[in-house]
Structure 1
Amino acid sequence: MLSLTGLPLRVLAVLLAAGAFAATMWLWPRLAGRGWKSWLGRLGAFFGTQLAVLAAIGLVANAYFGFYTTWSDLLGTDGKQGTVVDHEPGGKAVSVTGQQKVYSSQGSAQDRSGVIEKVRIRGASSGLIGTPAYVYLPPQYFQPEYAHSRFPMALVLSGYPGSAEKLISLLEYPDSTLKAIQASQLPPTVLVMMRPTLVGNRDTECMDVPNGPQVETFFTEDLPRAMAGSYRILDRPDARAAIGDSTGGYCALKFALRKPESYRSAISLSGYYTAPVDPTTGDLFGGRPRLKQENDLLWRLRTQPGVPVSLLLATSRNEHNYAATQKMVAAFKAPTEVSTITLDSGGHNFHTWTREIPPALEWLGRRLAPPQPAG
């Protein structure tokens, strides 16, 4: 079956749409009669062409924005709950399944531009196996002077539905990170880029769902432990940050506010502050109003003691989260630190987020612990 986001399917869809339009123009004079057959012919030609054009536009837009990455995502046929997998001691927490070069003005050598590895991460506590993730190792990771150093880490999450690949190709996190490192705005940092969705196509909002997938545990306990055990990464909260857009932004803030022992810095690009409940999420809270409240970030800032974390909230004056962001700013208390990026205009899209990522990385550079000698 053709890939939902692959070029061959898009080309085929565009050709079919063009062919349907040409056939309609050629056949239209023959369908000009007043009988019912002519009426049905004109209706069929009209709606057939419209459907072909809409399908082509939809496939192109989906490939660009990464809404659905597989046919099962689109059709909702892969919604099974996760399976708990028991592992013997010594099993690999992180399995590397592929590698790709990073090209920059410094060339493509790994000690000049870094490298991206495609990995699978197994969660020891949650029992979950993460969707394919991409690990960006900066050039310093391969340089002799850093051979015995451990590095800070930033978890980068897409929105829902979203694609980890778009964090590389459209949002250009590795490229922006490399530029920030070269400009001494960010310490050499390892990126872990992935979707917030771990169980089929269900939007769990990074929750530990009662009697369901323990997604928050995966991201706040399993992933940091697995990365520190498989790469030269500092195993301390001030050397870890979470970044995300939309759903990923909500998750990033929640990890810092609820688990400051896991992440001390969080960046939210167009994120929201409370988990929605809709057909894509199912029942997230098991009928427990208190659990829903505890995952409401504005409620936490207003009513709970401050925690020692730094938060960056990005919005624009016409964004959906603008008013709620102002409430977040008014609600926080020390030792929590809150900063904002407010664009004059911008929407809930990749173009807006690419304008926010460079200053966000510079902000993060003032908070992440730099590489340290191992041991």
Structure 2
Amino acid sequence: MAVSEAVEAAPTRRWVRALRFGAVLTAILLLLFGVPWWTLVASGAAWPTGVVATGTVLFAVAVVAFPALMVLGHGPRRLDAAAVAGDTTLGVIWVLFVWAIAGNLLRLVLAAAGVADPTRSRVVAAAVLGVSAVLVVWGYVEAMRVPRVKRIDVTLPRLGAGLDGLRVVLLTDTHYGPIDRARWSARVVEVVNELDADVVCHTGDIADGGVEQRRAQSAPLGDVRARFARAYVTGNHEYFGEAEAWMGRMAELGWDALHNRHLVVERGGDRLVVAGVDDRTAAGSGLAGHRADHAAALAGADPDLPVLLLAHQPKQVGAAVAHGVDLQISGHTHGGQIWPFHYLVRLDQPTVSGLSRHGARTQLYTSNGTGFWGPPLRVFARSEITLLTLRAG
């Protein structure tokens, strides 16, 4: 009897979880689309009936279409047109949501100043729509442009004098995706090659989609020039589908896939260990041998040599500290990508952007990312190609 009850209870629990997830998702969507709808259309602006009806229909269609577009675009079918439409909708509605909240704070100020409706609500709606439109256009331009070069000097006390001035270029989160950016990719490589790098690193999230689907966009990576090494580690997006295929693709393009292993760079009689670990999500991917294994990555390395570690997520820095790493370079955060999302990122990661210190020895550099994920927008979070110049202590 007990076994029978347990068997019957399992499907019930699954239904309860599914219903709870559906309720939470529905609430989020209604809030995300509802706040802008109320602010722009349904507050005390007293718009003509046609304006209210048209605005309401547009928001209703968007809130219904959005989940379907995301499933079609990012689910098993991976329809690029649906992904572009869904991602763009997400970016636009997030900007509208954020500035609708700010607009309703303005509403309170106007009310305190004695401004009555419908003037008050119309001023708020115009301000929200105007600011959002400017930010969406500017954010699109920022997302699609070739990233600026960000130059950072990092002093490593254990770095030998022969390696002083070593130039390390960091690419990360290129996210080749449903918008064809093959020309953008080629231009990024041209900028990298102008930097005369000793080591070029890619810390994961190469693409959204499979190798064959993104072959043309990733092809320019084969033209990257580096004096000593081109090193790559997986990001979490590789584990959404084809991690091993992407490792093979990078090897085909002439990169060293540092799958929990290291190589050694030598110049002027001094040496640097360049190590890499899998993304922290690798262990849950089901792929045999995939997990972040710092001990394996550093196995056989001289413990007296300084270590440069490639790890996709900043939160992997705890293990880097435990293993005596001198500098970890990471991406993943995108610098928040669309303000003020960086506040949410900070809840999950120890840093969002820039150089930070962890423990007595370890430094961490977190890049804003070279490309973008999802919405083709970057608002107050510039993309970057990072040039790290290592200095002897």
Q: Same fold (TM over 0.5)?
A: no
TM score, norm. by length of structure 1: 0.32
The structure that is helix-richer by fraction is 2
By relative contact order (CA 8 Å, sep 6+), the higher-ranking structure is 2
